[in-house]
Amino acid sequence: MKKYGVLIGAAALTLMLAACNNDEEEVKSSEAASTDAKTEEVAKEQKQEEATTQKVTYLGTDYEVPIQINTMIAASLEAMEDSAVLGIKPAGVISTDGSSIPKYLEKELAGATVVGSKREPSTEAMLALSPDVILGTSKFDETQMANFNKVATTFPYSHISTNWKENLTLLGQLAGKEAEATEAISNYEASLTETKEKIANSDIKDKDVLLIRVRSGLAVYPEAVYLNPSLYEDLGLQVPAGLAALKAKTETKITYETLADWNPDVILLQFAADENTENPGLLDEILENAIFKSTTAAKDNQVYVNIVEPLAQGGTAWSKINFLDAFKENVVK
């Protein structure tokens, strides 16, 4: 019996030692797993701290901007118009008179600091706002872009109408409003389809529609510039033969005689007082000019003055949306 007791005791001791070893191994394994998890978490946090910038691709060029963008400056009317579409409040904006927000964007951009004129924003004023990014314009020259890039990464926000979707998409990406940008584009395309169907069942489809911008005279644009893409590309209206034959590459002044020779059926006349300070009464002069009044458009009461805000840039989401709405409501019968 004594022998068996010793054997039983030894066996029990062995089992206890084995259990202790197992417990120790489990503890060590648990501690190791915990250590690994903590190490992974620390590494992840370090990686996040290190990655303070992101790459943004716009019109084929890569730009480096902060991951967290809190302060933007809209240093162009193009960027300001699209900010209004997406409900974005830039910290800084520019002005046509150098001191105040343009009236047509005043409500949406209220509270923004004016950082200079549209032709020459102030780098000092922009520096004071400590921006994360600056949205300029492709109209800026190389020297201006270089100076602005010293303040913050600056995008040459395109003034070309065909890039309006890329513009709005970029702005939405930077401001965390990609869904709103997508929705705005989708809504425009739906409205465009509706308007084109309305045009197809109206007399306007076969008429010459000419847009004239009053800038110390009668100015016209190539079919792919300003608001013309909305007329001739989006809505599919015919390009007046005279305008097509002109083969203009930029804004071009025409005479009253040339206008009479073209004799458009519909004239969209855009007049901004800010652009005609030397002759504020020029619009009345044009409307009362005998040659102008001899055109088919004038005779048929088909002259529309400022169908959309005269300072509208033309190649932005804001311009295209508002122009389309106004054209559908006022011109298409």
pTM, full prediction:
0.82
Q: Output the CA torsion 95→100→101→102 (10° steps).
A: -70
Which tokens go with 290? Answer: 């005998």
Q: What is the pLDDT of residue 274?
A: 86
Phi, psi of 156 (to 5 degrees): -80, 70
Give the tens place of pLDDT for each residue, 294-320.
999 999 999 999 999 999 999 999 999
Phi and psi at residue 108, to the nearest 5°: -70, -30
> For 203-330, which CATH superfamily applies?
Nitrogenase molybdenum iron protein domain (3.40.50.1980)
Tokens of 100: 């105040």
| Exposed e or buried b per residue across 71-110, where buried means at least 16 C-beta atoms within 10 angstroms of its C-beta | ebbbbbbbbbbbbbbbebebbbbbbbeeeebbebbeebbe
- Predicted confidence at residue 317, as pLDDT, reads 97
**Residue 281, phi then psi, degrees to nearest 5:** -95, 10
Alpha carbon 166 to its chain centroid, in Å, reads 7
State how far Cα 191 lies from the chain centre. 19
Q: What is the pLDDT of residues 174-188, one digit of tens each?
A: 999 999 999 999 999
For residues 154 and 170, the answer to whether their CB atoms sit within 8 Å is no
Size (the chain), residues = 333
3-state secondary structure of 222: coil
Alpha-carbon distance values, 108 to 94, 103, 234 (Å): 14, 10, 27
Helix crossing, 164-175 with 178-200: angle to 10°? 150
Answer left, alpha or beta for residue 74, where phi above 0 means left and psi between -120 and 50 means alpha. beta
What was the pLDDT predicted at 41?
65
- What residue ranges of the chain have pLDDT lower than 50? 1-15, 17-20, 27
Q: What is the pLDDT of residue 333?
A: 80
What are the contacts of 194-203 at 24+ separation with CB within 8 A? Answer: 194/328, 195/235, 195/324, 195/327, 195/328, 195/332, 196/235, 196/236, 198/328, 198/332, 199/235, 199/236, 199/237, 199/332, 202/332, 202/333, 203/333
Determine the topology of domain 56-177 in CATH.
Rossmann fold (3.40.50)
Note whether 56-177 and 203-330 share their fold.
yes
What's residue 17's pLDDT?
46
Kindly list the domain boundaries of the chain, sorted by start residue: 56-177, 203-330
What is the pLDDT, as a whole number, of residue 106?
96
pLDDT for position 210: 98
293, 160 in Cβ contact below 8 A? no
